[in-house]
Structure 1
Amino acid sequence: MKSRSESLIRLKKFQVDEKRRQVSQIEMMVNDFVRMATELDQQIEIEQTKTGISDVAHFAYSTFAKAAMVRRDNLLASANDMREKLEAAQDALAEALEDLKKVELLDQRENQREAAEQLKAEQSDYDEIGRLRFRNSK
Structure 2
Amino acid sequence: MSSGLHTLIRLHKWRLDEKRRALAELQTLADKLADDAGRLEAEIAAEQEIARASPEAGFGYGNFAKLSIERRKRLAQSIAQVQAQIAEATEEMAEAFQELKRYELAQEGRDKRDQAKRKQREDAALDEVALSGFMRRR
State TM-score, norm by structure 1. Answer: 0.87
- C-alpha displacement at 1:128, in angstroms? 1.7
The answer for the alignment partner of 1:71 in structure 2 is 71
**For residue 132 of structure 1, what is the amino acid of its counterpart?**
S
Q: Deviations over 1:75-102 (max 9, x none)?
A: 1111011111111111111111111111
Aligned mates of 1:65, 1:39 — CA distance in 2:
15
**For residue 87 of structure 1, what is the amino acid of its counterpart?**
A
**For residue 89 of structure 1, what is the amino acid of its counterpart?**
A
Q: Secondary structure at the match of 1:62?
A: helix
RMSD between aligned alpha carbons? 1.8
1:27 is aligned to 2:16:
no
The answer for the alignment partner of 2:51 in structure 1 is 51
Tell whether the 8 Å contact from 1:26 to 1:86 is kept in structure 2 after alignment.
Answer: yes
Matched residues, number: 133
- C-alpha displacement at 1:61, in angstroms? 4.3
The answer for the alignment partner of 2:88 in structure 1 is 88
Moved over 3 A (4+): none
Tell whether the 8 Å contact from 1:12 to 1:96 is kept in structure 2 after alignment.
Answer: yes
Aligned mates of 1:32, 1:69 — CA distance in 2:
19
Aligned mates of 1:17, 1:71 — CA distance in 2:
35
Aligned mates of 2:24, 2:65 — CA distance in 1:
32
- C-alpha displacement at 1:62, in angstroms? 2.5
Aligned mates of 2:46, 2:132 — CA distance in 1:
97
Q: Deviations over 1:90-117 (max 9, x none)?
A: 1111111111111111111111000000
Name stretches of at least 5 consecutive residues in structure 2 with no aligned partner.
Answer: 54-58
> Of the two structures, which has the highest relative contact order with CA contacts closer than 8 Å and spacing of 6 or more?
2
Q: Percent identity?
A: 30
**For residue 13 of structure 1, what is the amino acid of its counterpart?**
K
The answer for the alignment partner of 2:12 in structure 1 is 12
Name stretches of at least 5 consecutive residues in structure 1 with no aligned partner.
Answer: 54-58
